[in-house]
Amino acid sequence: MNELITQTPRPGLAKTALLCLPMALLTFMMLSGGGGLPQSPPGMFALAVTYLGFNALFFLMLRTGITDRYRAVIFVTFSVAFVISFISHLIEARGTMALTSETMLAGGTPFCHMVIPMILIPLAFTKTVIFPGTIIGGFASISSMLVLWLGVSLAVGRGFCGWFCFFGGLEDGFSRIFKKPVIRNINLKWRWLPFGILGLVVVTAALTLSPTYCEWLCPFKAVTEFNAVTSTLVLVQTIIFVSLFIGLVIVLPLLTKRRTQCAAFCPFGAFQSLTNKLNVFEIRIDPASCTKCQRCIQACPVLSIDQKSLETGKPLFTCLKCGKCVDVCPNKAIRFHVKGTPLTHEPEIMRRLFLYPAFLILATMAGGNIQDAIVRIISFITTGSFIK
């Protein structure tokens, strides 16, 4: 974790508590699901831990002026909880993580946001969703994921990848394990590879009317679901996705302290970068305050800041809005910013304006998974099984 050197004036305890009040009320509504409090003791315990944890971290974000450290605690926890919860659900529903053709034909494949760039062209031209999932119902139905993606993209653009992607949190976690990077210098040209992969999967998906990225390249099948190995072709696909998971999600993040899958591979991340143009929040650098110390360049997990950014005052449009560069800058030269306002205008207020929607969406998306994972961990401790 990078050390923070900041001169941001801290709000007092009473002011911070007041600023946290709306979040305390909204997160309670979101976490309790509007359906009343859980009845079982593990359920009540999980709700209490999640609610208090989220609000303590939001309080710390506002009180300290630090964003990334507290974001990462929830983001990484969310990813681990998602894996526990998702696999347990699959095993409850099907008895296995393996996907069979019967399950696909029955529309029983949970939908994930990674598929979105591939379905849009076939949807426009053939009025068909080229994914064998459920349109309505299910714990990740196509319709709910599309609505969620659209809302989040309008609110925070590629902040989706920095705050809500349950896959990105795995790399984020691995990238924080070593104190210093073993591999320091990465060729910045790798930043363009995701756009090439995006073009490839969009074209091949449109031509074959099948989600080619899911079938051939998605590393996260290793922790969600995968085709049952019944042929040489599926064996090759399995070797590819397992290798990508080990290389891009575990080993390279450990060695580089970067989110290598997000920075140099993920086509959804490339697609989501384009939505950074649509929303009002951005990260800006004040060249007049910058001493070119390059800490931000070294810290950025997706290589979005380079020498040119320090001159122009803008990171690349691939920025995740994670706040890490804002936290590490010793001169407060980097800020969250609302487009159309002066760069000098109350940077802490700009940061808070971003934090409210970002944190609320994070709590909404992560809350259910974290509570479910806590209940399952209690079940594992008391009964020896994650299955309820």
| Residues of this chain that bind ligand SF4 (CB under 6 A) | 283, 285, 290-296, 299-300, 302, 304-305, 310, 315, 319-325, 328-329, 331, 333-334
- Residue type (1 letter), 240: I
Which residue, 85 or 175, has its beta carbon nearer to ligand SF4? 175
Q: How far apart are CA 291 and CA 146, in angstroms?
A: 43
Cβ closest to ligand SF4, residue 142 vs residue 285:
285
Name the residue nearer to ligand SF4 (CB basis): 293 or 378.
293
Q: Which residues pair with 284 in a beta bridge?
A: 335
Q: If you write DSSP's letter for every residue of 22-58 in order, what string do you get? A: HHHHHHHHHHHTTS----SHHHHHHHHHHHHHHHHHH
Is the Cβ–Cβ distance between 111 and 131 less than 8 Å? Answer: yes
Orientation angle between helical segments 68-94 and 168-175, nearest 10 degrees: 130
d(C-alpha 218, C-alpha 97), whole Å: 15
Least Cβ distance, residue 227 to ligand SF4 (angstroms)? 33
Report how far apart, in Å, the C-alpha atoms of 12 and of each of 121, 172, 351 are: 52, 31, 17
What minimum distance in Å lies between the beta carbon of 382 and ligand SF4? 40
Q: Which is nearer to ligand SF4, 129 or 334 (CB)?
A: 334
User: 376, 388 in Cβ contact below 8 A?
Assistant: yes
Tell me the HSE value of 63 on the side-chain side, using a 13 A CA sphere: 14
Cβ–Cβ under 8 Å, residues 271 and 116: yes
Cβ distance to ligand SF4 smaller for residue 248 or 325 = 325
Q: Which is nearer to ligand SF4, 99 or 296 (CB)?
A: 296
Q: How far is the CB of 278 from ligand SF4 (least distance, A)?
A: 16
Shortest spacing between CB 298 and ligand SF4, in angstroms: 9
Question: Pick from 357, 302, 353, 362: which is nearest to 154 by CA?
Answer: 357
Shortest spacing between CB 73 and ligand SF4, in angstroms: 16
Nearest of 66, 297, 16 to residue 181 by alpha carbon: 297
Question: Measured from the CB of residue 70, what is the shortest distance to ligand SF4 in angstroms?
Answer: 14
Min CB(291)–ligand SF4 separation in Å: 5
| Rounded least distance, CB 353 to ligand SF4, Å | 15
DSSP 49-111: HHHHHHHHHHHHHHHH---HHHHHHHHHHHHHHHHHHHHHHHHHHHSSSEE-HHHHHTT-PPP
Return the number of the residue (222 or 290) whose C-beta is nearest ligand SF4. 290
Select 325 or 358, whichever has its Cβ closest to ligand SF4: 325
Structure tokens at 367: 């809350």
Q: Which is nearer to ligand SF4, 250 or 262 (CB)?
A: 262
Shortest Cβ distance from residue 384 to ligand SF4 (Å)? 41
